[in-house]
Structure 1
Amino acid sequence: MRLRNKPWASKVIEENSQVVIPNPKECKGKWHTVFENKNPIHVEVGTGKGRFVTRMAEAHKDRNVIGMEKYDSVILTAVERIIEKPLQNIRLIKEDVELITDFFAPGEVDRLYINFTDPWPKNRHEKRRLTSSGFLQKYVDLLQENGEIHFKTDNEGLFEYSLESMSQFGLKLKNIRLDLHRSGMEGNIMTEYEERFVEKGMRIFRVEAYK
């Protein structure tokens, strides 16, 4: 999908350093200081336009929520959402998930969310999948002892791959849903993509993995 260029995005991001952390490497191991509390730290990688993280922060004031998104034109919408409805327990990082270990110390993250990531269906692109072993190693390094990865997708092939990848990596799996919105699960917070897929009657797949 082609991203619409928004030349004003970088200026808005720079002007809202209280929302988008300008030097996230300096926060490594110090996120509780940033939030001025010791609440659990939850991170969404590829946060897109920020609907999930903003709703998560609004619904759970006892969690510190951080969204990662590398594109200015995409994260801009997340910034605008937070400005419109200020929340003290949310921050954004404008960086690539490949660098995630630069921003969080080992054991600093309580939960990590991966929602509707690019499936990268070709075999030669396997390493780009956010549930491949290379990324799982990064996540596990950051998660505390009982930390979890919550993964949702509309792509059945990616879901099957992810279950196998996580299992082979040594993660334990629980709450596997093959049709999330017909499973009776409560407390699910939808992303923009998810709402669109559900309206079309598509199945949503979900799993929780833990160390």
Structure 2
Amino acid sequence: MGKDKLRRFAEIATFNNVVQMEAGQPYQGQWSAQFFKNNNPLVLELACGKGEYTVNLAQMFPAKNFIGIDYKGNRLWRGAKTAVEEGINNVGFLRIQIENLSSYFAPGEVDEIWITFPDPQPQLSREKKRLTSPRFLEQYKHLLKPGGFVNLKTDNDDLHAYTAEKIAELGLKLHVKTEDLYHSPYADEVLSIKTYYEKMYLKNNKNINYLKFSFV
């Protein structure tokens, strides 16, 4: 492991906005009350990477709580450090494997989920690892409050199409679907938040896909 990664791992251990692994389990069902010390709605960003989307959402919506989730601590470091430096108190980060979400959040605890530019896991043998595969969707269904939304923003056309197929197969409610977000009527202030990698995709004239859906 490089010196930079070691330094970042050491530093995030000192951040009060980062919870790592099993240390997050006692917050299950109590994230807003115990971690954020309020009763505001709770929003998750899965596979948040450097946490750019999480931090920007938190700045836009101070009356909501945001948790960015990823397993790679050296990535979380960037978003966590930005939040500390800028005094953004309604954002936190949780370092866990996303398949273990149900061990950290209670049924009906989450108001909304964002999945922004996840690994598309293109190989058929890795379908179960896609964050919109049925096994993950089942978790989201239980964690979300009734009427809670899932948002998928991706540059990967195949993952977008795959997710749309699963929404139809499972009888979920589709609210928004576009294969070209920035040439659609949906590109509002929230959806126009751009991560480092999204900016790279757009420079290469890559279309950005977006889906918004909920569970019946």
Normalising by structure 2, we get a TM-score of 0.92
Which residue does 2:11 correspond to in 1?
A: 12
Q: What is the aligned residue count?
A: 209
Which deviates further from its counterpart, 3-12 or 21-30?
3-12
Which residue does 1:94 correspond to in 2?
A: 95
Aligned sequence identity (%): 30
Q: Distance in 2 between matches of 1:27 and 1:82?
A: 20
Q: Distance in 2 between matches of 1:81 and 1:4?
A: 20
1:80 Cα offset (Å): 1.7
Q: Distance in 1 between matches of 2:90 and 2:71?
A: 21
Which residue does 1:201 correspond to in 2?
A: 205
Please list every run of 5 or more consecutive structure 1 residues that lacks an aligned counterpart in the other structure: none
Q: Distance in 2 between matches of 1:132 and 1:104?
A: 19
1:171-210 pair list within 5 angstroms: 171-184=172-185, 185-187=187-189, 188=191, 189-210=193-214
Question: Is contact 1:136–1:166 with CA below 8 Å preserved after alignment?
Answer: no
1:32 Cα offset (Å): 1.9
Q: Distance in 1 between matches of 2:205 and 2:3?
A: 28
Give the CA RMSD over aligned residues: 1.7
Please list every run of 5 or more consecutive structure 2 residues that lacks an aligned counterpart in the other structure: none
Cα deviation, 1:133-168, whole Å, max 9, x if unaligned, reads: 000001111000111100011111111001111222
Cα deviation, 1:154-190, whole Å, max 9, x if unaligned, reads: 1111110011112222211111111001113212222
Normalising by structure 1, we get a TM-score of 0.94
Q: Distance in 2 between matches of 1:165 and 1:144?
A: 20
1:54 counterpart SS class:
helix
| Letter in structure 2 aligned against 1:68 | I
Q: Distance in 2 between matches of 1:65 and 1:136?
A: 20
Q: Distance in 1 between matches of 2:37 and 2:201?
A: 37
Cα deviation, 1:103-159, whole Å, max 9, x if unaligned, reads: 110000000011111111111111011100000001111000111100011111111
Question: Is contact 1:25–1:102 with CA below 8 Å preserved after alignment?
Answer: yes
Which residue does 2:19 correspond to in 1?
A: 21
1:65 counterpart SS class:
strand
